[in-house]
Every structure is written in C-alpha cells, then in structure tokens.
Chain A
Amino acid sequence: MASGERDGPVSLDGANLAESSLEDLLAQVARQDRRAYRALYDATSAKLFGVTLRICRERSLAEEAFQEAFIGIWRTAADFDPARGSALAWMAGVARNRALDLLRKRGRSDTPIEGDALEKLLSEAAVQRAGQADLDALLQCLERLEETPRRAVVLAYCEGRTRDELAAHFAAPANTVKTWLRRALLSLRSCLEE
C-alpha cells in the first residue's frame, strides 16, 4: 500500500517510516518526499533546536536560524554523503553553521561567558556519553587537553564564542587564543585517530 504521491521511487509508507533510519529519511527527502521530511523533522527537531538555541542564546534568533536550517536541509539533502558521517551529524552541521551565521550577523556579543559554562556544557554532554561511542571518544580526547585549551575549544564550539570574546574572557591576546585553539585541535585530531 506504499504509494508515493510523486513520480519516481516508491516513498515510505507509515509503517516503515517509523523504522527508517535518519539516513533513509534524508535520502527520501533528497527525492522531495514530504512525508519523509516530516518524519525527519519529528525525529530530530528538538535536538537540532537545542543546538541552535545554545549558540544563538536569544530565542527568536534561534527560531529563525532553526527555520532556515531546516529549509536548507530540504533544499540540500542531496549533498549528504553517508560515507562521510551520520545524517544527524550532517544536519547538526547545517543547523550549527546557520546559527553561527545569524549570530555573527545579528546576535549580541555582549552576553557574558558564565563562570561555570564549561562545567555545565561538559556535564550536559557526559549524561549522554554512555550510549554514544563517538561522543564518548570525543569527550575522552577533550579530557586529555589542558584546562585552558579545553575551555577555549568547548566555549567556541558549543556557545559560538569568537576569538575576541575568548580573549576577553581569558584576559589574553587574541593570537594566544588562536594558538591554544590550534594546538588543541591538533591534539584532538591525533587523539581521535588513535
């Protein structure tokens, strides 16, 4: 009874939509399947909205970024290459990049970095690490870094902080921050390749 509303491959019916992987759904979205798009949205919207909200901080900006990101996912689903990562990771990249773009264009750069920001971010992540090998590996590699570079990387990545904001936070020159970030990223890369 699976019948597509459009020409082309049969689209997934209600029963197997529920069992489809995100990769399958995304592939269907690339073929303009609206029901798969809805299923993809239902499965991932809370997670991805959480991603944009953490970066944009301001709710209406986050909504705008999220909306544009999801529209972008509809339009560019064919760009997803399963060989290079999971569908969810790809979607998170779209959402994150859109959030960063809007943050840079229109966000306020005067929201202070909170004292316990790093601890909060890492404990939020730690809650989920047991079930996710890739998150666990990344956290282990982050834990191997020294405190300051780890703080810089996590604040930059999770909160979208700029080098200048980090420089002010650490009371260090922006170039020093750049060096910390780059050394940390090199360490992360070799650690992840182990």
Chain B
Amino acid sequence: MADQDDDKHLDAAERALGTEPREHESAEGRRAREDWDAKLAPLALAAPPVQPPADMFQRIERGIAGEPDTAKIVQLAERRARRWRAVALATSGIAACLMVVVATILTTFPLIEGPITPPAAPQQAYVALVTPEGGEGPAMIVEVRFTDFFGEGTQTGIVTVQPLHVTAPEGRALELWLIPPGQAPQSVGLVDPQSVTLLNVAAEPGDILAITVEPPGGAPGGVPSGPPILSGPLVPAR
C-alpha cells in the first residue's frame, strides 16, 4: 500500500518540481501535483521581484482580445532571422538596410509559433517586414497566411519568414514607398522578390512603409499606381 501510493505521490511531487514531465497527467495526478505546487509555492514566490516591461499589460490584453502581438512577431522573426542571417552574410556583402521594423496588422488573432487557428472572422494576410537583430542583413517578410495546411478542410495560419516573400504579377515590378505622416509617398526603390534586396531608408517610427505593384521600371511619375499590397507603420526595432 505505502510503496505504490508513495510512488504516485512522488511522481506528482517531481512534476511539481519540474523534473518529471506533465504531458500525460491524469486529473487525479493533476490534483496531487497541485497540492505539491501549493506546498512549494512560498519558495517560488521568494524570487526577487522584477518589474516587467511597461507595455506588458497592454500585450496581455491584446492576447486576451485575440489581437496580434507586435512584440511577439518581432521576436519570432528575429529568432528565425538569425538563421537566415548566416546564409545572407555568406552570399552578399551586407550593407545597412532598413533600420526599423514594420508591422502590418490587417486582421486580429493571436500569433503563436507554429500553426494557429483563426477566429471566425474575415481573414486576410498578416505581414511584418523585418530586419534581423542589429539592423544588419536583408530585410525580410514575416507572413501569416491561411491555408488548408493539413488538408482537413480547416484553415490554419502558417507563419513563414522569407526574404521579401511577395510575388509580383507577371510583367510587373514591386516598389517600396516611404510615407511619413501627412506627406506624399516617396519611392525607396524597386524590390526583387527573387533575391535579397538591400535597401537604405532613412525613416522614423510612425512612418508608413508600403509596397505597390508597378510597371517594370517603377511607378510612372514617381506616384504609386494603385493601393499598396503590403503596408504598415514602422515601429522601433528592439
């Protein structure tokens, strides 16, 4: 009697400690573990208090509302960008490019790593144009698009990070614009989605970056031919 009970009890204790996994915990096992959680909690709470960042509560509220978390997108992109950076450094002489991060929010849903399920609301693509940490290296786009990834008839959100993962329609070019608030768009240059594009932009947080589809050679008269296919405000990189 004692041994078996003790074993189960100690499994629960080690789950509370963190040295046993909690994945397949039964309801009963969970109650036992929570008893241990309560016993040990004073020690956890004895950790020195540390103020979280000032915008944390805002981020939490957005998470509850199901809105995308800009900071998290940047984190996600930076994590993946670290891998891309090694490749880019090997293949091109890196110049300074976009010094800030653009986040475009076209729909609302929480962004987590891996497949995500959209709410039952009209969906669009969700894009962020980012630079890797330190502002060096190629600009790239973090895109979340909905697709029937598992072939099950449900839409899941898939996160991809690629150098300018945008395709121009046949025979057209992509142009990047900088739009400071209240001002006319200024062309930054054409971007080639097939390769790494290095761009120099003097921009400030609050400016809008936008990509439009143009004739080859760029917008006639230096004015966008139509509405942007991607756009978003600049937010400072971490």
| Structural contact, B13 and A41, CB atoms closer than 8 A | no
| Structural contact, A135 and B64, CB atoms closer than 8 A | no
Within the assembled complex, what's the spacing in Å between the Cα atoms of A84 and B33? 12
Which chain A residues numbered 63 to 120 have a C-beta less than 8 Å away from chain B? Answer: 63-64, 66-68, 70-71, 74-75, 84-86, 88-90, 92-93, 95-97, 100-101, 104
Within the assembled complex, what's the spacing in Å between the Cα atoms of A125 and B49? 11
Min CB distance B238 to A, Å, is 8
| Structural contact, A135 and B43, CB atoms closer than 8 A | yes
Contact among A46, A101, A157 with B51 in the assembled complex (CB-CB below 8 Å): A46
Question: Which residues of A are found within 8 Å of B39, using beta-carbon distances?
Answer: 138, 188-189, 192
Question: Which residues of B are found within 8 Å of A186, using beta-carbon distances?
Answer: 6, 10
Hey, what's the 0/1 contact readout for A138-179 against B, CB within 8 Å counting as 1?
110010000000000110111011110010000000000010
Question: Which residues of A are found within 8 Å of B51, using beta-carbon distances?
Answer: 45-46, 49
Which chain B residues numbered 12 to 32 have a C-beta less than 8 Å away from chain A? Answer: 13-14, 17-19, 21-22
Size of the A side of the interface (Cβ < 8 Å), in residues, is: 61
Min CB distance B207 to A, Å, is 26
| Structural contact, B47 and A156, CB atoms closer than 8 A | no
> With A74-B64, A89-B37, A134-B42 as given contacts, are A157 and B17 in contact (CB-CB < 8 Å)?
yes
Residue of A nearest to B238 (CB): A60
Question: Which residues of A are found within 8 Å of B34, using beta-carbon distances?
Answer: 84, 93
Within the assembled complex, what's the spacing in Å between the Cα atoms of A38 and B196? 45
Contact among B13, B35, B59 with A84 in the assembled complex (CB-CB below 8 Å): B35
Within the assembled complex, what's the spacing in Å between the Cα atoms of A42 and B196? 45
Known: A47-B49, A139-B43. 17 other contacts (CB 8 A): A38-B57, A45-B52, A50-B49, A63-B71, A67-B69, A67-B72, A71-B63, A84-B35, A104-B21, A125-B46, A135-B42, A138-B40, A162-B18, A166-B19, A181-B17, A185-B17, A185-B36
Question: Which residues of A are found within 8 Å of B42, using beta-carbon distances?
Answer: 89, 132, 134-135, 138
Q: Does A35 contact B (CB under 8 A)?
A: no
Chain A interface mostly? helix
Q: Does A53 contact B (CB under 8 A)?
A: yes
Q: Does A31 contact B (CB under 8 A)?
A: no
Within the assembled complex, what's the spacing in Å between the Cα atoms of A86 and B19? 24
Question: Which residues of B are found within 8 Å of A154, using beta-carbon distances?
Answer: 43
Min CB distance A134 to B, Å, is 5
Which chain B residues numbered 95 to 131 have a C-beta less than 8 Å away from chain A? Answer: none
Q: Does B184 contact A (CB under 8 A)?
A: no
Q: Does A182 contact B (CB under 8 A)?
A: yes
Q: Does B153 contact A (CB under 8 A)?
A: no
Q: Does A36 contact B (CB under 8 A)?
A: no
Question: Which residues of A are found within 8 Å of B45, using beta-carbon distances?
Answer: 47, 51, 88-89, 92, 135
Min CB distance A101 to B, Å, is 8
Q: Does B223 contact A (CB under 8 A)?
A: no
A to B CB contacts below 8 Å, 23 in the list = A49-B51, A53-B47, A63-B56, A66-B56, A67-B56, A70-B60, A85-B37, A86-B41, A88-B45, A89-B42, A93-B44, A96-B37, A97-B37, A135-B42, A135-B43, A157-B18, A162-B18, A163-B19, A181-B19, A185-B13, A185-B14, A189-B9, A189-B13
